[in-house]
Amino acid sequence: MATGDIYRALHARSLKDPEGFWAEQAEAIDWSRRWDTVLDSSNPPFYRWFAGGELNACHNALDRHVEGGRAEQTALIYDSPVTGTKTRFTYRALRDRVAAIAGMIAAEGVGKGDRVIIYMPMIPEAVMAMLACARLGAVHSVVFGGFAAKELASRIDDCNPKLVLTASCGIEPNRIVHYKPLLDQAIEMAVHKVPRVILLQRPQGEATMVAGRDLDWVETVKDATPHGCVPVQATDPLYILYTSGTTGYPKGVVRDTGGYCVALHWSMKNLYGVKPGEVYWCASDVGWVVGHSYIVYGPLIYGATTILYEGKPVGTPDAGAFWRVISEHKAMALFTAPTAFRAIKREDPDGKLLKQYDLSGFRTLFLAGERGDPPTVEWAQKLLGVRVVDHWWQTETGWAICGNFEGLDPMPVKLGSTSVPSPGWQLEVMDDQGRPMKPGEVGALAAKLPLPPGTFPTLWNAAERYRQGYMTEFPGYYKTGDAGFIDEDGYVSVMTRVDDVINVAGHRLSTGQIEEVLGSHNDVAECAVIGVADELKGQVPLGLLVLKAGVNKPNEEIVGDVVRMVRDRIGPVAFFKSALVVQRLPKTRSGKILRGTMQKMADNQPWTMPATIEDPVVLDEIKGGLKSAGYAKL
């Protein structure tokens, strides 16, 4: 049997007989009532998986493992270099804590279908709060801790929570982020008035309480009666997770309960190659979709041990932080964003800090969130000596659209590609008229409906926005909003967002293609390419380069090098003539580079400060650099 045959047969079956395939996978989950229909397709594009089935996500993540022999296995490892804290929770201990928090929440009148906003840092109570909501059948909406008051207010008004669970502060390497003033301001701004806030005081930054509305977490949970698991419909929402909308109004991505549990369980074994009881580390944040799926629900539903890390890839204390965590806790896999590895590469380009740690049990590095550019992937492969798997994700999809299936028969890794589609995903590359394109041609990536379990069945209170935003441009398909190509072997390369495809004198070019060349320069740690307006060509590419630590060459020499490299590798058609050396690139807190904002700056178009930006000062630095180079003239 050739490499990939097991995957190909499985993927073909998932498309030919989706109901039979997913019904088999659903046997791995505990159901309090079996489904009537595997796939309800009576109202497209609003497909429903496991209709009529009942289950509880918290039971599947905790109680069944306690009852099934894993009670004393470690479920959660909390590792916080910013506070110098490390704590382990067994499945039994975590179940007991979650049951008490569920009791605390239920005492405030929260029940099945009610919404709870969780606005917390990377601490165990955040994970427990999510699971406690799931235990009650309440719908949680996690808002990234420290998010701006205006953005938090818009989420309060959209989902009308009965309760907000929060902590007094988050801790960054160089500062304390006080959450409570932001929350108080958001509640003041919101039309919907939140009746109750339960706050966990952290000693690093205590908060003032609002009398009559706010309760102290520790005091309140002490008196709570533990609560059992409440079965919900498989099609009931488990959570709402907001993602930025193009209209400026956030989109509430809804995740159902049954399909999500089934898809996550399948992926832990088959995509990530984890065995129950092994330690798996996803270095994300619970505020993002990856944190929901692979810090909290996926590893626990599967019976693995998950790591919750309150720290950074560099600066807590150095660029060896990730190696310490892997070595100390014996993690077999790490899932993080390419931007984290670019930060490590920038600070420690030769990987000297790795030599201090034993990574002999480490098997696979998974990257997602931004394109895994070949220079970064190659650097990681060479440094770690393990397989590096770039895989493609979206908030909307809940788990990977494409990846390399480490638990089946791992196929060769192709640099720059996110490998092959997950079960249930049938992808096409479309041109501007919605016609399928040939292998190797760059166009809009779209997926044939219905989408597999675990994806989003709708947007919260916005069914028409769901239909118009995702399902109408290519009838019968989900518009991913990403651009790329599929090669002759069926490997999918996601090059950029559709909005980041630039048109140079009628030639459509992917910014990711040019970034790949820039990133291969020995002195470049990280880069971005934006299309700037040009009277003659329509748009021309402009590169922004962040150099590795310790580079002493003149900037002009490096810029000259990369201009020549693009001409040699892509050709004069790219019309790549200029690049700026910058100290750092503006990013969202999840690691995405804000290319669109920089492009608007360069073209003197109106732009607003993105709510998700990690450090607003970076945009001022970029604006200064663009101005001095003759862009952003206003």
| pLDDT (0 to 100) of residue 633 | 62
| pLDDT (0 to 100) of residue 634 | 45
Residues of the chain scoring pLDDT < 70: 244-248, 499, 505-508, 632-634
Of 485, 517, 551, the last residue of a domain is: 485
Indicate if 536 and 592 belong to the same structural domain. Answer: yes
Indicate if 72 and 142 belong to the same structural domain. Answer: yes
Write a three-state SS string for 532-597.
EEECCCEEEEEEEEEECCCCCCCHHHHHHHHHHHHHHHCCHHHCCCEEEECCCCCEECCCCECHHH
Indicate if 462 and 572 belong to the same structural domain. Answer: no
Indicate if 139 and 234 belong to the same structural domain. Answer: yes
Indicate if 462 and 515 belong to the same structural domain. Answer: no
Measured CA angle at 155 (ends 153, 160), to 5 deg: 95
Query: Within a 10 A sphere around the Cβ of 433, how many other Cβ atoms?
Result: 5
Indicate if 458 and 565 belong to the same structural domain. Answer: no
pTM (two decimals): 0.88
Indicate if 594 and 518 belong to the same structural domain. Answer: yes
Of 107, 167, 165, nearest in space to 131 by CA: 165
Of 408, 27, 41, 428, nearest in space to 235 by CA: 41
Indicate if 472 and 545 belong to the same structural domain. Answer: no
Q: What is the pLDDT of residues 505-549, one digit of tens each?
A: 666 677 888 998 999 999 999 999 999 988 777 889 999 999 999
Is residue 222, in this structure, part of any structural domain at all?
yes
Write a three-state SS string for 313-329.
CCCCCCCCHHHHHHHHH
Is residue 320, in this structure, part of any structural domain at all?
no
- Angle of helix 595-602 relative to helix 617-628, nearest 10 degrees? 40
Indicate if 463 and 554 belong to the same structural domain. Answer: no
Is residue 271, in this structure, part of any structural domain at all?
yes
Of 406, 343, 419, nearest in space to 380 by CA: 343
Q: Return phi, psi of residue 462, to 5°.
A: -150, 55
Indicate if 168 and 288 belong to the same structural domain. Answer: yes
Is residue 490, in this structure, part of any structural domain at all?
no
Indicate if 204 and 284 belong to the same structural domain. Answer: yes
Tokens of 295: 């810090």
Of 506, 529, 609, 527, nearest in space to 576 by CA: 529
DSSP for 148-213, please give it: -HHHHHHHHHHH--SEEEEESEEEETTEEEEHHHHHHHHHHH-SSPP-EEEEEPPTTS--PPPTTT
CATH number at 442 reads 3.40.50.12780
| pLDDT (0 to 100) of residue 247 | 52
Tokens of 132: 């406690």
Report the distance separating Cα 274 and Cα 197, nearest Å: 38
Query: How many structural domains is the chain composed of?
Result: 2
Is residue 328, in this structure, part of any structural domain at all?
no
Indicate if 515 and 466 belong to the same structural domain. Answer: no
| pLDDT (0 to 100) of residue 505 | 67
| pLDDT (0 to 100) of residue 536 | 74
DSSP for 226-272, please give it: P--PPPEETTSEEEEEEE--TTSSPEEEEEESHHHHHHHHHHHHHTS
Report the distance separating Cα 518 and Cα 147, nearest Å: 33
Q: If DSSP codes are grouped into helix, strand and coil, which group holds residue 526?
A: strand
Is residue 344, in this structure, part of any structural domain at all?
no
Q: What is the pLDDT of residues 165-184, one digit of tens each?
A: 999 999 988 889 999 999 99
Please give the residue range of the domain that contains residue 584: 507-628
